[in-house]
Structure 1
Amino acid sequence: MTEAPESAGPNGRAHTRYTPGTPCWVSLMVHGMAATQAFYGELFGWEFEPGPHQLGPYVRALLDGQEVAGIGQLPPDRHLPIAWTPYLASDDVDLTAESVRLCGGTLGVGPLDAGEAGRLAIGSDPSGAVFGIWQAREHLGTGAAGAPGTPAWNELLTFEAASVAKFYEALFGYEERPVALAGFDCVTLCLDGRPVAGIHGVGHALPRDRGPHWLTYFEVADADTALERLAGLGGHVLTAARDTPHGRVATVTDPEGARFALIQSSR
């Protein structure tokens, strides 16, 4: 984790509307919808509501009535890596999607409408890491932050940070802030002086079956307790909990193999 995330507003509420370039939503496409909902419901205390139906079988995860994430179903014949995907806010998804192409990225889905919720596209950066773009209408994005069970941070794990950082900077005008850690290839992406996401170059330490990918951190009250619960629910621990300047962190997967991180933030 390259930088502490922005703090939430009063009562853990996030922004009403996200600045373009800010991660505003995370979504997961899986094969077993019911089993996945049961896993994350037990792990994070999420409840679920269906929709938008334009995305096929899809549910929104709620925590204390606030939307925090989405889970959708992959078609049976689609054998894609199961992965959490962050969505970056945009005021014009069509223009941003065109910029993805012009800057050397690839567009995989859309732009397309998700009913009255908003408009989206899914692309990949020049290194192959997948991310989404979200233009909000009725659905503004993640509605809570700072509380256990909410997304806390998004970090790109890639071969080398500087070159791919230029791609994202061209899309959203991020300011780059190098992280002063000896031996670490890290860049923090900032908007208006505040950190919104990180890029971590790890070279050949990338998983062979994944390649460059975005990693979402979810807040937990106690990292060690959450790891025990996760293992009991069929998840897997990839890196044991360790203390960092930003809190206690562990990297894990859910039963279908989606990687994510747990963080017990420093208070």
Structure 2
Amino acid sequence: MAVPAEGTPCWVDAMFTDPEGARTFYGEVLGWTFGESASEFGDYTEAYANGRAVAAVVPPMPGQDTRSAWCLYFASPDAAATAEKIRAAGGEVLMEPMRVGDFGTMVLARDPGGVTFGVWQAGSHEGFGTTGEPGAYCWAEIYTRDPGAADRFFPAVFPYRGRRMVEESMDFKVFDIDDDIVLGRMAMTKEFPPEVPPYINVYFAVADCDAAVAKATELGGTVECGPMDTPFGRFATLTDPQGAAFSVINLQAAKGDLPAWSEES
């Protein structure tokens, strides 16, 4: 695949205290296979769907006590310049631009509402080998308790245009790059316990949502929402045995009318 446009989600990874357990869980639920661990890069291990790179898992660094969570990376032609935009927009750079061999340059950051994300300037590793296919990334949504801050911050850092869903019962917005919808933004309601931090929920495509949910619960995962039918597909939100939230969706099982959107803002 070609290097994605600036601001496009291009990669996901997660830290697990039990990486072998994570490989077993996601291998069973999403059909992933795994490459060799790169010891020179902290035992970083890529996951594959049908032979194409779709994600990675890695153990925490020694002494690091990190809650397991999927981290979404956004493409950038210049990671250092994006880091400066993050600061200028009121965000926090958690890790300064760091070159990762000849693979590329990464940044870790947090928006003003507490949402952690990554930035990736591609080198030899351009990002996802495929998207939208079973086992691969297909969508993501920012879950935040400060939607106004997210709505200001992300279009200031990336070339986004926002559109709000015309549905009074839900504060949901999408960000576009040109004619492509690339990211959602959902306001967290009181239904979310206060101990749940703001985060980006990553969706992986599956051929059968219910079967994926059944396998996940069999292996110790927890169902947080669904399965349910939507105009975008049948989906469910899960938490894996190590506490990382994610969603699975069958894009071929869409039901109902697509929502209306406000004018771009």
In 1, Cα distance between equivalents of 2:174 and 2:123: 28
Matched with 1:168 is 154
Matched with 1:136 is 122
Structure 2 contact 165–172 (Cα < 8 Å) conserved: yes
Gaps of 5+ in 1: 1-14
Q: CA deviation at 1:53?
A: 4.7
Matches within 5 A, 1:69-218: 69-218=55-204
Q: CA deviation at 1:144?
A: 0.7
Deviates more, 1:199-208 or 1:68-77: 199-208
Structure 1 contact 158–206 (Cα < 8 Å) conserved: no
* Count of residue correspondences: 253
Deviates more, 1:69-78 or 1:219-228: 69-78
Q: CA deviation at 1:248?
A: 0.9
In 2, Cα distance between equivalents of 1:261 and 1:64: 20
Give SS of 2:210's match. helix
Structure 1 contact 31–76 (Cα < 8 Å) conserved: no
In 2, Cα distance between equivalents of 1:215 and 1:250: 11
CA distances 1:52-90 after superposition (whole Å, capped 9, x unpaired): 555311101011221000111113532222100100000
1:234 aligns with 2:229: no
Q: CA deviation at 1:209?
A: 2.2
Give SS of 2:249's match. strand
Give SS of 2:35's match. strand
Residue 244 of structure 2 aligns with an amino acid whose one-letter code is: A
Gaps of 5+ in 2: 254-265
1:250 aligns with 2:239: no
CA distances 1:207-237 after superposition (whole Å, capped 9, x unpaired): 3222211000111111111111111112111
Matched with 1:48 is 34
Give SS of 1:204's match. coil
In 1, Cα distance between equivalents of 2:33 and 2:159: 36
1:219 aligns with 2:236: no
In 2, Cα distance between equivalents of 1:110 and 1:35: 30
Q: CA deviation at 1:50?
A: 3.2
In 1, Cα distance between equivalents of 2:113 and 2:146: 9
Structure 2 contact 42–61 (Cα < 8 Å) conserved: no
In 2, Cα distance between equivalents of 1:175 and 1:235: 36
Residue 145 of structure 2 aligns with an amino acid whose one-letter code is: F
Matched with 1:65 is 51
Structure 1 contact 88–133 (Cα < 8 Å) conserved: yes
Matched with 2:14 is 28
Greater relative contact order (CA < 8 Å, ≥ 6 in sequence)? 1
Q: CA deviation at 1:120?
A: 0.1
Residue 17 of structure 1 aligns with an amino acid whose one-letter code is: V
Deviates more, 1:102-111 or 1:52-61: 52-61
Q: CA deviation at 1:18?
A: 0.4
CA distances 1:8-63 after superposition (whole Å, capped 9, x unpaired): xxxxxxx4210000000011111011111111111111111135555311101011
Structure 2 contact 6–159 (Cα < 8 Å) conserved: no
Give SS of 1:165's match. helix
